[in-house]
Amino acid sequence: MEALEPAPALSTIMLTQSRVIRAPRTSVYQAWADPDFIKQWFGPAAMFCAAVSLEVRVGGTYRIEMHMKPDAPPQARANMSQEAVVTGTYTQVVPNELLQFTWEPSWSPGERSLVTISLRDITAGTELTLRQEKFASEQSRDAHQQGWSRALDNLTATLES
C-alpha cells in the first residue's frame, strides 16, 4: 500500500496594518465600497486607478485596474508593469463594519490571498484594521506590506482633507 502524501498546509503568512482615520465609519466604509471613491486613493505612487468595478455583496466580484502614470519615474517604469489588475470575490460584507474578499493580483499569477477590512468607532474617528493572509511567500507579504501602507496613507489623507 502506497503512503498518502500529506495535504499541503494552508499558508499562515499574514500582515496586519491599522490606521486611525478622523472620519465617520460610514465614510471609511464608503471609501472601500464606491468605485469612484476607490479611484481617488487606491494604488501605488507610480500608478493611477483606471477602472474599478464592484459588486459589494457576499459572492459579488470586484476588479481594480491600475495603469502607469505618464510622469512615473524611470525606476518605477523599469520595475513595474504598465498595467496591474487585482480581482476577487467578497466572502463577508457587514456594511460599515467589515469587508472580506479574496485578492488575486495579476503581478503574482496563481496567488490568492484573503483581505479583511474591519472598522470600529473610536473617539478620534474610525479605527481601520486591514489583515491579509494566506500569502504564497514572505516576499509577497513584504511587497504587499509596502503597498498597503501607501494605500492606507492615501486613504487617510483623502478622507481627512
State the pTM of this model. Answer: 0.89
CB-CB contact of 44 with 150 (8 Å): yes
Read off the pLDDT of residues 36-87 as tens digits, 9 standing for 90 and up.
Answer: 999 999 988 888 899 999 999 999 999 999 998 888 777 777 777 789 999 9
**Per-residue pLDDT tens digits for 101-126:** 999 999 899 999 999 999 999 999 99
* Per CATH, domain 19-160 is 3.30.530.20: yes
pLDDT in tens, 139-158: 999 989 988 999 999 999 99
Cell numbers given for 45: 505612487
- Provide the Cα torsion 16, 22, 25, 26; round to 10°: -130
Judge contact between 102 and 89, C-beta under 8 A.
yes
Give the per-residue pLDDT at 8: 46
3-state secondary structure 20-69: EECCCHHHHHHHHHCHHHHHHHCCCCCEEEEEEEECCCCCCEEEEEEEEC
Instruction: Please state the domain extents for the chain.
Output: 19-160
